[in-house]
């Protein structure tokens, strides 16, 4: 009797069919648990502190009709006004304190990038984006990682809520103008999201094909994101990009689109070694695409920093090597963030800390410290651009005289 031949192809087809049924059942279950994301709420004193005015000023604006009537909640026998970050931004606009890039400066692109996985690229890009939105900036988060962790943090379930065209793929492979269609509004009015889906992984392969290199209309594969962002960046102060833990075409596009690279490093031996390798690769990429790459600054951000002696020693070593590149604020290892990526919750969005109030406050303080330092770097880039614009105008004037 002839033994039945093992047919791998048939096995894959059957598994895909059975898997498809399983997936539909799982998606039905997910749909039932679909959560609508919302922003934390607070009283008038906190709203006034964030907006940079007094509580009585807000009350007066509301009385005069310069602001909408406040939302009220019952608190015992009295009614309290409540606000969220979107409402704070409306207050800022009413009192002329809405921040933004200065006149003469363009949108700055900040890319969180490292070859190594698990170094907090997503955690830090998500919290930096929300910090900017909380401060009142107009911001776009581009999820360039097919794992779609940042996308999930905004309540989108890729298989349920997103379809073809809802990620970077069309803008990178068909027409840069298609980027606009992929952008989603979120529960933060001034924070938009360009989501990712697992299917975006295909972009890496597609952009590496020889025919793509010769595509004169779309340009060289690594600069497609840079070109697409030009289509929409007028509407934002800052664009933040989260990248996958590899150096495929998606990461390469992010690097070629960056003005500021933030490189998160966990101060452990293996992670330090991979940073060396990353710098070597970046150098080669710059040599290849010198004209396209416009990175004006690179900052190293130490993440998941614990208090062990070994870590302290490693930080001293990193300081010796990269000194001036290191951000002075570090992100310590904290229970509040330990599960944040998998739970798809951001610290800036929770009312109730998962651990103690002290742990939560410490985590927020560390995040605010890191984020304000990155924002400072962005503002320096804006200043440089404004100054060079003035210089150029002066030189033109001299020529005319």
The site that binds Mg ion (CB under 5 A) totals a number of residues, namely 2
- In the complex, the smallest distance separating the C-beta of residue 125 from ligand ATP, rounded to whole angstroms, is 8
Residue keyed to tokens 């695409």? 289
Contact call for residue 303 and ligand ATP (CB under 6 A)? yes
Q: Helices 44-51 and 85-94: crossing angle, nearest 10°?
A: 50
- In the complex, the smallest distance separating the C-beta of residue 305 from Mg ion, rounded to whole angstroms, is 18
Which of Mg ion, ligand ATP, none does residue 341 bind to, with CB < 5 to 8 Å depending on kind?
Answer: ligand ATP
Structure-token pair, residue 19: 């898997």
Residue 107: other Cβ atoms inside 10 A: 21
Which residue in 101, 109, 121, 227 binds Mg ion (CB under 5 A)?
121
Which residue in 89, 114, 122, 344 binds Mg ion (CB under 5 A)?
122
Please identify, using beta-carbon distances, which residue of 89 and 125 lies nearer to ligand ATP. 125
Q: Give me the numbers of helices (H) and strands (E) for the chain, helices first please.
A: 18, 9
Residue 198: other Cβ atoms inside 10 A: 12
Contact call for residue 331 and ligand ATP (CB under 6 A)? yes
For residue 220, the cross-strand partners are none
Residue keyed to tokens 């940079």? 52
Long-range pairs for 179-185: beta carbons < 8 A, 24 or more residues apart: 179/228, 179/229, 179/231, 179/232, 180/231, 180/232, 183/140, 183/232, 184/154, 184/156
Residues 304-323 that bind ligand ATP (CB under 6 A): 304
| HSE of 195, CA atoms in CB hemisphere, 13 A | 24
- In the complex, the smallest distance separating the C-beta of residue 29 from ligand ATP, rounded to whole angstroms, is 23
Please identify, using beta-carbon distances, which residue of 122 and 344 lies nearer to Mg ion. 122
Residue 218: other Cβ atoms inside 10 A: 18
Residues 39-58 that bind Mg ion (CB under 5 A): none
Q: What would the x/- binding string for ligand ATP be over residues 117 to 156, using CB under 6 A?
A: xxxxxxx---------------------x-x-x-------
Residues that bind Mg ion (CB under 5 A): 121-122
Residues that bind ligand ATP (CB under 6 A): 117-123, 145, 147, 149, 245, 303-304, 331, 333-334, 337-342
């Amino acid at each position: 009797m002839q033994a039945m031949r093992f047919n791998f192809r048939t096995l894959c087809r059957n598994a895909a069919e059975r898997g498809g049924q399983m997936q539909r059942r799982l998606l039905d279950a997910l749909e039932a648990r679909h959560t609508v994301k919302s922003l934390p709420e607070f009283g008038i004193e906190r709203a006034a502190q964030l907006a940079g005015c007094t509580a009585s000023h807000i009350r007066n604006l509301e009385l005069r009709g310069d602001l909408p009537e406040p939302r009220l909640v019952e608190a015992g026998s009295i009614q309290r006004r409540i606000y969220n970050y979107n409402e704070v931004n409306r207050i800022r606009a009413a009192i002329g304190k809405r921040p933004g890039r200065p006149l003469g400066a363009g949108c700055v692109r900040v890319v969180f990038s490292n070859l190594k996985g698990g170094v907090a690229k997503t955690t830090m890009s998500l919290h930096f984006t929300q910090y900017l939105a909380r401060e009142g900036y107009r911001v776009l988060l581009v999820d360039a990682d097919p794992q779609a962790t940042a996308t999930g943090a905004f309540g989108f379930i890729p298989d349920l809520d997103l379809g073809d065209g809802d990620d970077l793929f069309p803008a990178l492979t068909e027409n840069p103008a298609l980027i606009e269609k992929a952008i989603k509004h979120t529960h933060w009015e001034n924070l938009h999201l360009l989501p990712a889906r697992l299917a975006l992984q295909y972009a890496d392969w597609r952009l590496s094909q020889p025919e793509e290199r010769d595509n004169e209309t779309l340009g060289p594969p690594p600069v497609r994101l840079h070109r697409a962002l030009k289509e929409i960046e007028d509407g934002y102060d800052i664009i933040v990009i989260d990248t996958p833990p590899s150096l495929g075409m998606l990461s390469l596009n992010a690097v070629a689109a960056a003005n500021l690279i933030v490189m998160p490093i966990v101060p452990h031996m293996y992670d330090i070694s991979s940073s060396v390798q990353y710098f070597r690769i970046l150098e080669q990429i710059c040599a290849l695409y010198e004209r396209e790459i416009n990175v004006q600054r690179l900052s190293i951000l130490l993440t998941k920093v614990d208090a062990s002696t070994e870590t302290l020693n490693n930080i001293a070593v990193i300081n010796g090597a990269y000194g001036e590149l290191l951000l002075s604020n570090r992100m310590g290892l904290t229970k509040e963030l330990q599960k944040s990526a998998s739970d798809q919750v951001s610290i800036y969005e929770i009312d109730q800390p998962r651990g103690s109030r002290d742990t939560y406050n410490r985590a927020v303080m560390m995040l605010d410290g890191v984020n304000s330092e990155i924002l400072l770097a962005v503002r320096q880039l804006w200043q440089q651009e404004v100054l060079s614009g003035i210089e150029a105008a002066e030189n033109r004037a001299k020529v005319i005289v």
